[in-house]
Amino acid sequence: MVKVDTHQTGNTSLRALDAANFLLADIRDGMGPYLAIYLLSTLHWNAQNIGIAMSVMGIATVIAQTPAGALVDRTRRKRLFSILASLLIALAALLTILWPRYGVIMGGQVIMGVAAAWFAPAVAALTLGLVGPRGFDGRVGRNETFNHAGNVFAALLAGLIGYYLKTEGIFVLLAVMSLLSSISIWRIREADIDHERARGCGPTDKQAKPGEKNAGIWAILKNRSILFFALACVLFHFANAAMLPLLGQRLAKGINAGASSAYMSACIIVAQLVMIPISHLTGRLAPKGRKRLLLIAFAVLPIRGFLYTLTNDPVLLIAIQILDGVGAGIFGVLAILIVADLTAGSGLFNTTQGAIATAVGLGASLSNAFAGAVLQRTSYNTAFLTLAAIAIVALGVLWFFVPETSPEAR
């Protein structure tokens, strides 16, 4: 006789999850593009130091990501750790503007990086624990929809604050959103979370013994599909992560910090508005095939990098961000679903997600330092074309080496 998972989730918890995704929007990234503008326009740092500062958070995230994923699999205090991570980001944001020294800013980026490492596996685990595998595709799409809507809201406020008040006010906004996200996470009812299901176990699976768990980790490390997917993600984010900060610096040349923040907000809003319907649609189409959708996300990235070199018109440069919305909207949904497919039944969903997020963070953190060094020695166009070339390599790895993972499509 087949056992049926009868775990039910209350509407209060699901609404709180919606609110948490909305408020966590920019918290997970620490408003990185605005940091680049703040360091350039207010503190007058050079391009190479800005690239290093942008990379520090990513490096800290890389170091913390896999342990964070493993902790998410093991702990039942997911809400408490999520709240602590939010409070740490609020503290780091305030220190950045209250004591804007080199060491303090770098230290704040480390704090943000360690705290941000927690959110991706934690939100995915809470979602899986609340809705289960059958509702996971659609719910991840919904999570990303609320996340991008939150990004639009935050970018609008950040643009207004940066233009009419001060760029420093944007970091106060980040701190406030962090505090509000803590309240939303606390409103998720503990009784609604199935912690076994949250780590990728089915309703009839038992807790793995230590030896079995290690064997599972070794099996995942030997899985070619996971390794090639991780490589594709590294290359994709190496090409992608530095593009928006570079664009922000390019738009900021010759204008004041307020106008720079307004331009950056426009870039983010255009992309995020596109991501809202794209994420929702991806969640609905994902059961019929993951890979063909993900190929679209990878293909638009080199096109975007090339188009940045064809114009200096701020309006056209901002319009090109539509492609960023398409790529990021698809990737944000499918990366989680593909990991869930590849680890189904292992009980190591969040550990594997953390490990792949480490690879992604490695690509992203190195991207900013690499692009900053290229820009210091050449030009914006050369930097964009170099990143576009790397994006083409990422597309090739995905096309030839990563299989379709959707059970329905296979």
Higher pLDDT, 253 or 303: 303
Mean pLDDT of 153-165: 83
Instruction: Looking at mean pLDDT, say which of 123-127, 243-247, 255-259, 267-271 comes out highest.
Output: 123-127
> How does pLDDT run across 373-400, given as a tens digit for each residue?
999 898 999 999 999 999 999 999 999 9
How far is Cα 301 from Cα 243, in angstroms, rounded to an integer? Answer: 10
Owning domain of residue 184:
11-197+215-401
Task: Evaluate if residue 95 carries a pLDDT over 50.
Answer: yes
What's the total number of domains in the chain? 1
Closest-CA residue to 338 (of 281, 283, 291, 279):
291
Average pLDDT over residues 117-140: 90
Q: Angle, to 10 degrees, between the axis of helix 224-240 and the axis of helix 380-401? A: 160
CATH code for the domain in which residue 292 is found:
1.20.1250.20
User: What one-character DSSP code corresponds to residue 207?
Assistant: P
When pLDDT is averaged across residues 82-96 and rounded to a whole number, the result is 92
Q: What is the mean pLDDT of residues 140-151?
A: 90
Those residues whose C-beta lies under 8 Å from the C-beta of residue 26, and which sit 6 or more positions away, are: 150, 151, 154, 155, 158, 174, 177
Residue 3: inside a domain: no
Q: Is the pLDDT of residue 147 over 80?
A: yes
Q: Does 58 have pLDDT greater than 80?
A: no
Contacts 24+ apart (CB under 8 A), 252-256: 252/37, 252/40, 252/41, 256/41
Contact between residue 388 and residue 236 where contact means Cβ atoms under 8 Å apart: no
For the ranges 1-5, 23-27, 121-125, 144-148, which has the lowest average pLDDT?
1-5
Q: Domain for residue 240, yes or no? A: yes
pLDDT at 105 over 80: yes
pLDDT over 70, % of the chain: 89
Residue of 348, 308, 300, 353 whose CA lies nearest to 324: 300
Residue 120 placed within a domain: yes
DSSP letter at 190? G
Does position 89 have pLDDT exceeding 80, yes or no? yes
What is the widest separation between alpha-carbon atoms in the chain? Answer: 71
Neighbours of 254 (CB within 10 A): 7
pLDDT of residue 157: 87
393 belongs to a structural domain: yes
Q: How far, in whole angstroms, is CA 262 from its chain's centroid?
A: 22
How many CB atoms are located within 10 Å of the residue 231 CB? 18
Instruction: Give dist(CA 9, CA 140) in Å, integer.
Output: 16
Q: Is 218 exposed, middle or buried (0-12, 13-18, 19+ CB in 10 A)?
A: exposed
DSSP symbol at 41: I
Q: Within a domain: residue 48? A: yes
Locus of tokens 């970091």 = 171
pLDDT of residue 32: 65
Would residue 206 count as lying in a domain?
Answer: no
Give the confidence band of 325 by pLDDT, cuts at 50, 70, 90. very high
Query: What is d(CA 127, CA 197) in angstroms, rounded to the nearest whole number?
Result: 10
pLDDT in tens, 181-225: 999 999 999 999 998 888 877 554 444 444 444 445 676 677 888
Q: In this structure, is residue 209 part of a structural domain? A: no
CA 361/CA 128 separation, integer angstroms? 23
CA 165/CA 186 separation, integer angstroms: 32
Residue 313 lies in a domain: yes
Determine the pLDDT at residue 202. Answer: 58
Do 189 and 12 meet the contact criterion of CB atoms below 8 Å apart?
Answer: yes
